[in-house]
Structures are given as structure tokens and as C-alpha cells.
Amino acid sequence: MKVYLPRDAAALALGANDVAEALLSEARARGIDLTLVRNGSRGMIWLEPLLEIDTPEGRIGFGPVVPEDIAAILNAPKTHLKALGLVEALPWMARQTRLTFARCGVIDPLSLEDYEAHGGLSGLRRALAMDAASIVVEVTQSGLRGRGGAGFPTGIKWETVRGATADRKYIVCNADEGDSGTFADRMIMEGDPFTLIEGMIIAGLGVGATKGFVYLRSEYPDAIAVMNEAVVIARAAGLLGASVLGTGPAFDMEIRVGAGAYVCGEETSLLNSLEGKRGVVRAKPPLPALQGFMGKPTVVNNVISLATVPVIFEKGAAFYRDFGLGRSRGTIPLQIAGNVARGGLFETAFGLSLGEIVDDIAGGTRTGRPVKAVQVGGPLGAYFPRSKFDTPFGYEEFDGQGGLIGHAGVVVFDDSADMLSMARFAFEFCAVESCGKCTPCRIGAVRGVETVDRIARGDADAIPLLTDLCETMKDGSLCALGGFTPYPVMSALTHFPDDFATTRKAAE
């Protein structure tokens, strides 16, 4: 009997290890020959821990499972109260276009055999037969843009590094996924680590880099463990080392652990941190593509950007580019979070409306109360009211509505949310995490908290001051931390004026 139970941190946080223990002891007691695969998560977090049993018809699911369920599931799986039927046929799964996450939740994350049996390494093999310029052209033609938030075309970044002359070049993977509401990086690293490794190797081939780093945040101990193991396995299999798969040039990589600074998700601050310095933002230019890690040409890409590279090479640039909307090509792993009935990861072509995502896919709020606001793109993303629910999910489309898609986290709040408090929190967070290099961010964040407090006390004069402060931070900050904190603040003020006005009236 073959069963699957995720080792994904969300599943662990909801008790997967206790379920695994119950499963193994029950199987021993019954003399069942049980193979337990600790897979990644399918992304249906509201069903975690999701147990899957392999059957001739396919994998059938049960969830959310507690240890007490195990005996009854083994007695009569098909009629159990928590039986979900074929996992692949569940609406959440069937409606997705899983390209980057095709293997996540399906395979044993640390089995290279499993990985290859599901299409892994075929992209790399194709890339190994191409010259560097053609590799970069393939990425450019796929239309892939940086999934970390900035949306910069990945191929153009690679071309800059490829064209630079240096004795050493680097591939740096930004796995400092600090944005609230995002967990796609964590899920792919825990559920399909080899796809990230393969993507980084292809990047190395494309730009002529032989060394890679994954800068992984310390808040993700489970992802760190899986990535470290995967690198060891990849090295032993000859995927990494002196010659990639025995035919290519050298490529090796290291997993480096961050130290709890949100700002290190900003690429120049990340590079400083990786070099062993304070994670202070660097002024650009010089671009990291020309003077990055240790002053050498460096590709800095988000986890999802790099993890999407293998499927682009496996299926071809045109295949990938044919999904999407406008200038947002391919698929995007939406991370649906906060107060939602169904939260998790949903990979789909760009173009779904925010309303479809929140009302239809997520099923509204978990509390059952009306949706008040949706923050898209992490703590630096704007709060969207219902009136903007027709906005299609795409880089330009969200920009046009005064927002950003960021790393595609969608955080839903019900009507108990107080938007003035959320605006205050945005400044508070900025003050805690500011690297201190530029004044608008370092001082502005603190003044912002004070100004919001004045509004809360009923001081109407503080509102234009807040607007003015946001203008200054937006225009004057060195990076997105100070520069984008005005997004949540101003969107809260603009779209939810009652939360700023009621308190004022109450005080008058």
C-alpha cells in the first residue's frame, strides 16, 4: 500500500507528523506493507494534512486528517467521512494550469528518480545541447518576468549578465520570501527542490556562471532542510559539480540562510547580506547584473522565476508564452491567504479577475462575513475594495489600478478589519524593517505611525500631512520598502475613508 502525506511546513503546522506516526503504527499493528511518501503540498491548505492513498484508479484523498481518523480510513477508505475522491479531479486541482508546480505534491521531493520520471531534467538536457545565447533567447521569448514582484523580463536580465565580461559570474536565487500572504517559494522548495536546482543550472549555462547561491530566509527551517538535502543528492548524482551531468561545464551551489531581515528580500540588500555585511540597500546603478555578488556580474532571480525555467525548456518558449494576458505571459502561482474559506496555492494563467479569485476560488471568508478588503502583493501592496474586483490579475492591470501583484499573494480581510490600523501597521512594519540607509524610509516610517495616530485621535489636519508624507516616501526612497509602504497606506485611506473619518467624528 502506497500512501502520501505532505512534509510541507503548512501540513506539519497542522499536525502531519502526528498523522504519519499514527499511520505507521496502525500499519504495523495490522501487518500492512506500507510505503509512506512524504510529498510536498498540493496547495489545498484547508485540507491539510491531506492523506492520499494510491489506487489503480489514481490517488484518492482524505482531509483534513487527524490521527484518530487513521483506523477508520484503513477500514473503509471509500466511505470515510473525509474521503475526497480522486485528488486530481477535485475542482481546485482540475481548474489549475500547473506548469511550475506540476510535480509539487505529486512526487517524493527528494527522489531524483521520481523527478526525472515526471519530466524533470528534460529541460536541462535540452539546454545542454544549446549555446548560451540561444538559452537566453529561449527565456526572453517565453515572456517570463520576475516573479518576485518587480516583473522585470528575466531574459533581458540574463542577457546583460551573459554579455558582461568577468572571471566569475554568479546565479543568486532570492528565497527571502518575506511578504505576508506568500508561500509559493516555500512550497516549491519543500515540494520540488530539484526544479529550482535545475533552473539555476540552466541560468548558469545561459550566462556563463559556475556558482549559485540560494539565499533562504531563516523563518523557513523546513525548506532549508529540504534544499540542503537536495543539493547533496544533486551533487552525488553529478547534476552539480565539476561537469553538469558529465557533459556540461561546472556548476555548484550553496544554500545560505538569512537572519530575519525583511529588507534582504530587496536584491542589493540581499547581496550585501550574502557577502557577510549589514543588509543595507545599495544605490543602483551599478546594476547587480554587472556588479552584483562580490562585485561580479550576477543574476538575481526569485525562486519562482528560476523554478519556472525548466518547464519552459521542457515544453518550449512558445508553449509557455501562449498562456496569459497582455504583457503578463505564462502562469502565476496565486497564494490565497488570510481570512478565506479555501486558502492555498492556485497556479493559473494570468488574467483571472480578483473577484473570481476571492469569491469563487477562495470561497469568500472563513468567518462567513463579507469581504472588506484584499491586500495583493504583500505588505507593500495596495488594499483593494470590492469595487475593484473586476481587475484582471496581471502586472500592468494591477499597476493601472494603483496596486501591484508583487509575489502574487492575495490576503483577504472580512468586515471586522480596521483599515486605519492596517495603515498604521504598514508604517510600523516599515520602521521595524527599514535598513536605515535612506531618510524617507527610516524617518518617514516613524513619522507615519505618529501621523496615523493623530488621525485616530480625531485630528483632521493630519490627513493631508499623511498624503504628503506618502508622496515623499514614494519618490524619495531608495528601494521598495520605503517606496511602496505608501501603497497600503494610501489605498486604505482612499478606499476606506470611513475608517479614517469615523474616529475623527467620534472625537469631535
Partner 1 sequence: MPDTTYRALPPEEIRTRTEEVLAAHAHLEGALLPILHEIQLSFGFIPQAAVQPIAEGLNIGRAEVHGVITFYHDFRDAPAGRHVVKICRAEACQAQGANALADATLARLGLEWHGTTANGAVTIEPVYCLGLCACGPAAMVDGKVVGRVDTARMDAILAEAGA
Provide the β-strand partners of residue 211.
170, 252
CB of 82 to partner 1, least distance (A): 17
Question: How many residues bind partner 1, per CB under 8 A?
Answer: 63
Fill in the per-residue mask, 417 to 446: x = in contact with partner 1 (CB under 8 A), - = not in contact: x----x--x---x--xx-x-----------
Residue 255: beta bridge partners?
214
Site for partner 1 in 264-283 (CB under 8 A): 273-280
Q: Tell me if 181 contacts partner 1 by CB under 8 A.
A: yes
How many whole angstroms separate alpha carbon 102 and alpha carbon 88?
11
Which three three-digit cell numbers place residue 408? 502574487
Min dist CB 258 to partner 1, Å, is: 8
Which residues 472-491 are close enough to bind partner 1 by CB under 8 A? none
Cell of residue 491, nine digits: 489605498
Burial of residue 472, with CB atoms counted within 10 A of its CB: 0-12 exposed, 13-18 middle, 19 or more buried: middle
- Interaction between residue 366 and partner 1 (CB under 8 A): yes
* By CB under 8 A, residue 344 contacts partner 1: yes
Closer residue to partner 1 (CB): 47 or 136: 47
Q: Rounded to an integer, what distance in angstroms lies between the CA atom of residue 127 and that of residue 327?
A: 25
Stretch that binds partner 1, among 25-33, 79-87, 258-266, 440-448 (CB under 8 A): 258-266
**Which parts of 362-485 fold into alpha helices (H)?**
395-400, 419-433, 439-456, 462-476, 480-484
Separation of alpha carbons 203 and 206, rounded Å: 5
CB 457 within 8 A of CB 507: yes
Is residue 412 close enough to count as binding partner 1 by CB under 8 A?
yes
DSSP symbol at 220: -
Say whether residue 503 binds partner 1 (CB under 8 A): no
Asked if 135 touches partner 1 (CB under 8 A), the answer is no
Position 82 contacts partner 1 (CB under 8 A): no
**43 touches 186 (CB < 8 A):** no
Q: What is the closest distance, in whole angstroms, from the C-beta atom of residue 74 to partner 1 in the complex?
A: 26
- Least CB distance to partner 1 at residue 134 (A): 30
Pick from 92, 220, 487, 496 the residue near partner 1 by CB under 8 A: 220
Residue 361 exposure: Cα atoms within 13 Å on the Cβ side: 27
Nearer CB in complex with partner 1: 35/218: 218
Instruction: Considering the complex, state which of residue 12 and residue 462 has its C-beta at the smaller distance from partner 1.
Output: 12
Does residue 120 interact with partner 1 by CB under 8 A?
no
Q: How far is the CB of 293 from partner 1 (least distance, A)?
A: 8
Half-sphere exposure of 9 (CA within 13 A, CB side): 16
Give me the phi and psi of 128, to 5 degrees please: -65, -25
Binding residue for partner 1 (CB under 8 A) from 154, 308, 339, 391?
339
x/- contact string, 235-254, with partner 1 (CB under 8 A)?
A: -------------------x
Q: Produce one character per residue of 130-145: b if its CB has 16 or more CB atoms within 10 Å, e if not.
A: bebeebbbbbbbbbbb
Tell whether residue 294 is a contact of partner 1 (CB under 8 A): yes
Binding residue (CB under 8 A) for partner 1 from 194, 251, 293, 395? 293
Pick one of 332, 336, 419, 493: the residue that binds partner 1 (CB under 8 A): 336
Site for partner 1 in 18-77 (CB under 8 A): 45-46, 48
Q: Which helix (H) or strand (E) holds 123?
A: helix 122-128
Pairing of strands 51-55, 252-257: unpaired
Residue 368 near partner 1 by CB under 8 A? no
Any contact of residue 313 with partner 1 (CB under 8 A)? no
Question: Does residue 176 belong to the site contacting partner 1 (CB under 8 A)?
Answer: no
Q: Give the ranges where 177-295 is alpha helix by DSSP (H).
A: 184-191, 193-207, 221-236, 267-274
| Cβ neighbours of residue 186 closer than 8 Å, sequence gap 6 or more | 9, 177, 220, 222, 223
The least CB distance from residue 381 to partner 1, in Å, is 9
Q: Which of 12, 107, 173, 431 binds partner 1 (CB under 8 A)?
A: 12
CA-based diameter of the chain, in Å? 76
Q: Name residue 137's amino acid.
A: V
* Dist. CA 122–CA 124, nearest whole Å: 5
Minimal distance, residue 412 CB to partner 1, in Å: 6
Residues forming the site for partner 1 (CB under 8 A): 9-10, 12-14, 45-46, 48, 177-183, 185-186, 218-222, 254, 256-262, 273-280, 293-294, 335-340, 343-344, 366, 375, 379, 409, 411-414, 417, 422, 425, 429, 432-433, 435
